[in-house]
Structure 1
Amino acid sequence: MVENRPFFDTLTHIILILGVILIAFPIWITFVAATHDLARMSQAPIPIWPGSHFFDNLKLALEGKVVSGVDMLPVWKMMFNSLIMALMIAIGKIIISILSAYAIVYFDFPFRMGFFWMIFITLMLPVEVRILPTFEVVASLGMLNSYLGLTVPLIASATATFMFRQVFLTIPDEMLESARIDGAGPVRFFFDMLLPLSRTNIAALFVILFIYGWNQYMWPLLITTDSSLSTVVVSIKEMLDSAERTPEWNTIMMTALLAMLPPILVIVSMQKLFVKGLTETDK
């Protein structure tokens, strides 16, 4: 029996509405700032309602005129670099992790669990601890100022390997036995049975890893000195510091608004698979 408690229902909705407002308000301010000109954004108080310069600011951002008197990459080029980096990191992490988990669960080889725990222990090492040794390796391999240098050092994921391992452990052994009886080898079993069963988990991980790659700041800042490889997250910070002048908030906020779009599109387009991949337990 479910009790009807109007007071608690109302309180719950009020808390949810307040939470949405707190989360959405900064995004609203970003949008509003992207619709005003520089003169209005230099005045106090800042506006809270949209203006009429949205398309003017959009044109300036797309043409690379975000900061007056400073040559910068067009925003579309920055976003392209970020997109390449995010896709390569997400896809690379998924491929390496799912193959590693498959080997650990379904193949019997010496020190199998030892290798798994070595992978798992890397979760205790933050990026800051290993960033300098990683940089030295990348530099020695000649991958500075390249897409490979931006992505290859970040495509291994202990978290994704652990998640896929747990998913594979939930699959009944009878399924493997039936595949053997039907004459399916390891490769066919992987592609015809494991991949379809892991579809929602792959989608959920892709969303998380894409956003992880898109929001990278420290590694691109360290690994690239060529402005043609600048990512949008790094460039926004550079816009704020450029030439030690007053930030041109209207075009900077337009750039930030455009930078939000790809992660939002990925989340919206894969929302159902994302939620299902994180919540389902039975295969």
Structure 2
Amino acid sequence: MVENRPILNILTHLFLILGFVVVALPVYVAVMASTQDLPTLMSGPVPLWPGSHFIENYTQLLTNVSAANGLPNYSHMAMNSLIMALVITIGKISISILSAYAIVYFRFPFRQLAFWVIFVTLMLPVEVRIMPTYKIVADLGMLNSWAGLTIPLIASATATFLFRQFFMTVPDELLEAARVDGAGPIKFFRDILLPLSRTNIGALCVILFIYGWIQYLWPLLMTTDTGYYTLMMGMKRMVTAQDGIIPWNFVMAGSVLAMLPPILIVIFMQRLFIRGLTETEK
């Protein structure tokens, strides 16, 4: 029986509203600042109302602001980030779901050892193993290339673990029925496991896309060619003062545009995202 406690409900809503304000206020300030001119932003606190330079700021940002900082066009950097995020997302999911499938449904020597070796790498993020990884990539001649930007980030122990846990909940009767119908391993994987894994794949797509989109440290090490600059690298360079002045109106406009792809993918895939994280049995 659920008890109705008005005071508890009020406190819950107050904390919810407080959390929303804490998260949304910086975004609101960035949006408002992106509509102001530079003198207004430099003269005092950021105004909390829209300015009259919305179109001007975004137009200049997408045309010539990046060039003034020695960067490629903003749209070019955004495309680089998009390509990197998509390759990392597709690569991580493809490798993880296949490796989890092999670990769960195939019997081979040291199968469990292979899984635990993969699982242990959860304790070794990119920042920890970044120097040996950089050395390997440099020795292979993959600096300033898409291969160097994406391949070292494709392996994912987290996704492998999640797919493995899901595959272990799939009833054995499905595998037996597939064998009776003459389905081989590929057909069973393609026609049964993949459709069942749709919600898990959707949830991981959201997480991994954002992971690839916000990468900064690895691209910073991997490339010195401005043609491979990602949006996060470009935004950092834009904060560098030009003649002692930081163009905060363009920086804020760039930040707002950089937030749009993650926000859109969460909005359009939120149903699959929530189901993929909450459903444990199919």
TM-score by length of structure 2 reads 0.97
Contact in 2 for aligned 1:203/1:273 (Cα 8 Å): yes
How far apart are residue 3 of structure 1 and its match?
Answer: 2.1
How far apart are residue 66 of structure 1 and its match?
Answer: 4.7
- What's the counterpart of residue 207 of structure 1? 206
Q: State how 1:174-213 maps to structure 2 within 5 Å.
A: 174-213=173-212
Q: Deviation per CA, 1:32-82: give whole Å up to 9, x if none.
A: 110000111111122111101111010011113158x43422211111000
- What's the counterpart of residue 37 of structure 2? 37
Q: Percent identity?
A: 59
Confirm whether residue 52 of structure 1 aligns to residue 28 of structure 2: no
Q: Which amino acid aligns with 2:119?
A: F
In structure 1, C-alpha distance between the alignment counterparts of 2:242 and 2:185, rounded to whole Å:
59
- What's the counterpart of residue 220 of structure 1? 219
How far apart are residue 8 of structure 1 and its match?
Answer: 1.5
RMSD between aligned alpha carbons? 1.2
Contact in 2 for aligned 1:35/1:51 (Cα 8 Å): yes
Q: How many residues align?
A: 282
In structure 2, C-alpha distance between the alignment counterparts of 1:260 and 1:208, rounded to whole Å:
14
Q: State how 1:122-201 maps to structure 2 within 5 Å.
A: 122-201=121-200
Deviating 4+ runs (over 3 angstroms): none
Secondary structure of the 2:71 match is coil
| Mean CA deviation greater in 118-127 or 175-184 | 118-127
How far apart are residue 138 of structure 1 and its match?
Answer: 1.1
Q: Deviation per CA, 1:200-220: give whole Å up to 9, x if none.
A: 000000100000000111000
- What's the counterpart of residue 2 of structure 2? 2
- What's the counterpart of residue 262 of structure 1? 261
In structure 2, C-alpha distance between the alignment counterparts of 1:214 and 1:129, rounded to whole Å:
20
Confirm whether residue 277 of structure 1 aligns to residue 276 of structure 2: yes
Contact in 2 for aligned 1:78/1:229 (Cα 8 Å): yes
- What's the counterpart of residue 233 of structure 1? 232
Q: Which amino acid aligns with 2:271?
A: K
TM-score by length of structure 1 reads 0.97
In structure 2, C-alpha distance between the alignment counterparts of 1:132 and 1:44, rounded to whole Å:
43
| Mean CA deviation greater in 271-280 or 39-48 | 39-48
In structure 2, C-alpha distance between the alignment counterparts of 1:2 and 1:29, rounded to whole Å:
40
Q: Which amino acid aligns with 1:30?
A: A
Gaps of 5+ in 1: none
Q: Which amino acid aligns with 2:36?
A: H
Contact in 2 for aligned 1:82/1:214 (Cα 8 Å): yes
Contact in 2 for aligned 1:30/1:253 (Cα 8 Å): yes
| Mean CA deviation greater in 122-131 or 147-156 | 122-131
Secondary structure of the 1:137 match is helix
- What's the counterpart of residue 95 of structure 1? 94
Gaps of 5+ in 2: none
